[in-house]
Amino acid sequence: MTTRFSAGIHGWLLLLPAAALLAAFTHFPAVATLVQSFRSSPKPNRPAAFVGLDNYRTLVEDPVFWQSAWNNVWYALGTIPLSIALALAMALAVNRGLRGRAFLRMAYFTPTVLPMIAVANIWLFFFTPQYGLLEQVTGLFGAPSHNWLGSPSTALACVIAVAVWKEAGFFMIFYLAALQQIPPVYAEAAAIEGASRWTYFRRIVFPLLMPTTLFVLVNAVINSFRLVDHIFVMTRGGPDNATSLVLFYLYEVGFKFWDTAYAAALTMVLLVVLGGIAIAQFGLLERRIHYR
C-alpha cells in the first residue's frame, strides 16, 4: 500500500506542471468568461454590474450575429467536405509509386506552412478586379470583369476557396500516414479475389481510415470557426457583412467596440456549439470506426 501510494503521489507530481498550465490558461479563462457574460462591460465611470441574461437576450435579437452565424454555416459546409475530400484524393495520389512523388508531397503541403496572412495576400492578387490572375483567365473566354471580393454573391465563396487551399495539404499528411500503415497484403488479397480498385477502396481502405477521418473532421470543424485571419486581410467581413463569421464578429465586438461582456456571451455560445458538434461527431462516428 505504501509503494502504491508513493507511486500515485509521484504520478500526480509529474502531472502537476501540465495541469497547472491547463488550469491557468484554459479552465480559468473559460470560467472567467462565463462569469463575465452575466455582467455588463466596465466603463471609466461605471464598474461592471450583474445583468443576468441581458447579454444573451441582446445576442438573440442581434441581426448581425445571426447573419454571421449563417455565414459560418455556409463557410463550414463549404470548407469541411471540400478540404477533406481533396486531402484524401491528394494522399491517395502521392501514396503511389509515382515519379516525383517527393516533389508532389512538398507541393501539396507547402500552403500549410505559409502564414494565413501571406496566403490571403497571395489570393488578393488572384481576385483583384481587372488585373488579377482570375480576371485574366476569365477574360480569355470573354467574361466581363467582376469584383469577386466586393460582391456579396461571390465574396464568401472566395474566402472558402482560400481556406480549402490552405487546409487540404495539412489534412493530407494525416491521411498519407494512415495509408502507409495499411498492410499491402490487403491489396494483394483483394486483387486475387478480383475486386476492383473502387471496391478495394470502399470496402477496405476507407473503413480503415475512419479513425483518421474522425480526427480530421473534428479539426476541420474547429478550423471552420477558428480561421478568420484571411477575413481581416481580404474583406474585413464585407461587403455588407457577407463574409462576417462568428469569431470575426466576436473580435469586432470585443476589441473594436470594447463591449467585453457581450463578447464573453458570444464566446460562451461558440464554445457550447463547438462542444456539442464534437460530442455529436464522436457519438455518431465512433460506431463506424475500425481500430487496428
Of 58-72, 134-148, 173-187, the one with minimum mean pLDDT is 134-148
Residue-wise pLDDT for 218-228, tens only, equals 899 988 988 88
- What is the model's pLDDT at position 268? 93
Helix residue ranges per DSSP H, the chain: 2-22, 28-36, 54-60, 63-94, 101-113, 116-127, 133-140, 155-179, 184-192, 197-200, 206-208, 210-226, 229-234, 246-251, 260-285
Mean pLDDT calculated for residue range 233-260: 90
How does residue 12 score in pLDDT terms, banded at 50, 70 and 90? confident
Is the model's pLDDT at 292 over the cut of 60?
Answer: no
- What is the model's pLDDT at position 11? 80
Q: Residue 129 belongs to a domain with what CATH number?
A: 1.10.3720.10
Query: What range does the domain containing 67 cover?
Result: 50-288
Residue-wise pLDDT for 40-53, tens only, equals 988 888 888 889 89
Mean pLDDT of the chain: 88
- What is the model's pLDDT at position 158? 93
- What is the model's pLDDT at position 279? 85
d(CA 82, CA 184): 28
1 found inside a domain: no
209 found inside a domain: yes
Angle at the Cα of 200 from the Cα atoms of 199 and 205, rounded to 5 degrees: 125
- What is the model's pLDDT at position 282? 76
| Percentage of the chain modeled with pLDDT above 90 | 40
d(CA 264, CA 38): 9
Q: What is the model's pTM?
A: 0.87
Residue-wise pLDDT for 266-290, tens only, equals 999 998 998 888 888 777 776 666 5
- What is the model's pLDDT at position 134? 87
Residue-wise pLDDT for 55-112, tens only, equals 999 999 999 999 999 999 999 999 999 999 999 999 998 887 777 778 888 888 888 8
- Cis-peptide into 239, omega within 30 deg: yes
- What is the model's pLDDT at position 283? 76
Determine whether 123 is exposed, middle or buried from the number of CB atoms within 10 Å of its CB (0-12, 13-18, 19+): buried
Which of 112, 282, 108, 123 has its CA nearest to residue 210? 282
Q: How many domains does the chain have?
A: 1
Is the model's pLDDT at 129 over the cut of 70?
Answer: yes
11 found inside a domain: no
9 found inside a domain: no
85 found inside a domain: yes
21 found inside a domain: no
Mean pLDDT calculated for residue range 5-31: 87
252 found inside a domain: yes
Task: Report long-range pairs for 276-285 (Cβ below 8 Å, ≥24 apart).
Answer: 277/221, 278/218, 278/221, 281/214, 281/217, 281/218, 281/221, 282/214, 282/218, 285/210, 285/213, 285/214, 285/217
Note whether 252 and 170 are within 8 A (CB).
no
d(CA 38, CA 172): 42
83 found inside a domain: yes
